[in-house]
Amino acid sequence: MPYIDLDGIDLRILHALQADGRLTNQELADQVGLSPSPCLRRVRRLERDGFIRTYRAVLDRESVGLGLTVFVEIKVEKHSRDNAQGLQEALSCMPEVVACHMVSGTADFMAEIVVPNLKAYERLLTEKLLTLPMIGDIRSNFALTRVKSDAALPLTHLKREGTKPEPDC
């Protein structure tokens, strides 16, 4: 595990920004108990050191017409580094793939795909996925209900003495 040098204020900053990335520096400073200048310096350091990668809006899938979520298990044909790398690159280029992981078990990759409907998934499957020569097998699992998605990362493993706990549900 890499060395992580975060104090309690850094953790409060990260927690607050995960909850609301649109906080002004003044609002953030008030929440974490700093004046604005030191707060901004800490945020810039967290960005520079890679703890904060980016800021973005999380859209409601149904509101933008993406009503179907599919979890796709993919097995690589003829296991090789080139095939795995080629598949990673192909999946990374598909905007419908919102998350993808190399996994252990019966599948080699697990991709989360969002599309408007079943017909759109069928097109993606037949016109894009099944045309990739490095794919040996595909199994599709359709989400019936989204229970939790786009959650903040848990930071409890980084707690230091004297830091406030994150709020529970």
**pTM of structure:** 0.85
Predicted confidence band at 161 (pLDDT cuts at 50, 70, 90)? low
For residue 60, the 8-state DSSP code is -
Q: Which SS3 state, helix, strand or coil, does residue 141 take?
A: strand
CA dihedral 119, 124, 126, 130 (to 10 degrees): -150
Predicted confidence band at 3 (pLDDT cuts at 50, 70, 90)? low
Pull the structure tokens for residue 8.
């309690």
Gap between the Cα atoms of 64 and 20, Å rounded: 21
**What tens digit of pLDDT does each residue of 100-110 get?**
999 999 999 99
Q: In this predicted structure, what is the pLDDT of residue 167?
A: 59
**What tens digit of pLDDT does each residue of 65-101 get?**
999 999 999 999 887 889 999 999 999 999 999 999 9
